[in-house]
Amino acid sequence: MSSRNVILDQLKMYSSPGSSQRKTLVPKARKGSIEIFTEKATGAGAKVFLANEVEEAKNQIKKVLEELDGDIVYSSDKILEDLQIIDIAKTINKVAIEGQLEKKLDYKEIVFKSAIGITSCSYAIAETGSVVIEHSNSNERLISLAPETYICILSDEKIFENRYMLADILEEKTEQASAYSIITGVSRTADVAMQVVLGMHGPKNVFIIIYTGEL
């Protein structure tokens, strides 16, 4: 008998009757407040900017980029396309590469040598100040991880009140993305004599640019 069946058979002998399905009562998804999101994300080490329309968003991105050194890698994504990241970069003499347009073989190399990664964001959680990146054929996993600086573009429409609402939304999706990353501020460690160090293996700087309305 396979190990699988040995283990499951033993467990089945002593299972409780009835169904395992449970439903934690979660209120219907409600929009979360930008203020709470901003407060919590800032508390976790992110820098948050609010832009009211597309030009302002572009300006914010430009302002952030101007302060930073190094090349940019960004995910191929409708939102980032609309924001014309590549053009913004050009105006300040920066190189911006769309991760997916390059040959597959070079993708990792590009990400590893880029100093700045930009992706959009599918959801956000106000109570914790977290952004939720959906990793599918867009918003690659490493773009928000490998570069020293990460910039996340978030629509205020995507901010929900709490994590339970996010769980319900993801649960109801017919097709799951291959992964989701819930990112809250900058990576950190306190493993050296309890001193908090910001930026361990992940980005040391995280910028979140929230835009309202349509792009």
Partner 1 sequence: MKANPLLFEEVAKVEVLNHEQSDFLVMVKGVFDYLCNNAMNDYGDSDKQDLARDLGGDIRLNSLGHLAELLEKFEANAIANGINVLWAQDGDEACKLVEGLIDKHDVKIITKGKSMITEEIDLNHYIESKTGVEVHEGDLGEFIVQQRGTPPVHIVAPAINLQLGEIIDILHESIDMPKTEDANEIADYVRGFLRTRFQRADMGITGVNQAVASTGSLILVENEGNIRWSTSAPKIHVALMSIEKVCDNLADAMHLVGLLTRNCTGQSITSYVSILNGPRKENEYDGPEETYLIILDNGRSKAYADSELREAMRCIRCGRCGVKCPIYLQIGAYPYNNCYPGPMGVALMPLLLGVDETKHLYQACTQCGACAEICPVQVPHLSLNARYRQMKASGDKEFKASSNIWEGLFFKSLTTGMNNLGLYKTGLASMRFFTKNSSSDGYIKKLPGPFSSWFISRDLPEIPSQSFRQYWETEGYKFTKEGKKNE
143 to 57, 100, 114, 119, 150: CA distances (angstroms): 20, 11, 9, 7, 8
Q: Select from 31, 52, 53, 137 the one that contacts partner 1 (CB under 8 A).
A: 137
Q: Of 91-130, which residues contact partner 1 (CB under 8 A)?
A: 99-100, 104, 107-108, 111-112, 125, 127-128, 130
Per-residue string for binding with partner 1, 13-52, x by CB under 8 A? Answer: xxxx-xxxxxxx-x-------------x---x--------
- Show the DSSP H helices in 92-201 as ranges: 104-113, 163-172
Our CB check for partner 1 shows the closer of 51 and 159 to be 159
Our CB check for partner 1 shows the closer of 60 and 128 to be 128
Per-residue string for binding with partner 1, 52-81, x by CB under 8 A? Answer: ------------------------------
Q: Which two tokens stand for residue 80?
A: 């980032």
Distance (Å, whole) CA 41 – CA 47: 7
Q: Which two tokens stand for residue 109?
A: 């190399």
In sequence order, what DSSP letters do the residues of 26-86 get, joined into one string? -PPP-BPPHHHHHHHHHHTTEEEEEESSHHHHHHHHHHHHHT--S-EEE---HHHHHTTHH
Q: Of 146-185, which residues contact partner 1 (CB under 8 A)?
A: 163-164, 166-168, 170-171, 176-185
Our CB check for partner 1 shows the closer of 33 and 136 to be 136
Our CB check for partner 1 shows the closer of 63 and 108 to be 108
Distance (Å, whole) CA 11 – CA 113: 50
- Is 201 one of the binding residues for partner 1 (CB under 8 A)? yes
Number of residues that bind partner 1 (CB under 8 A): 73
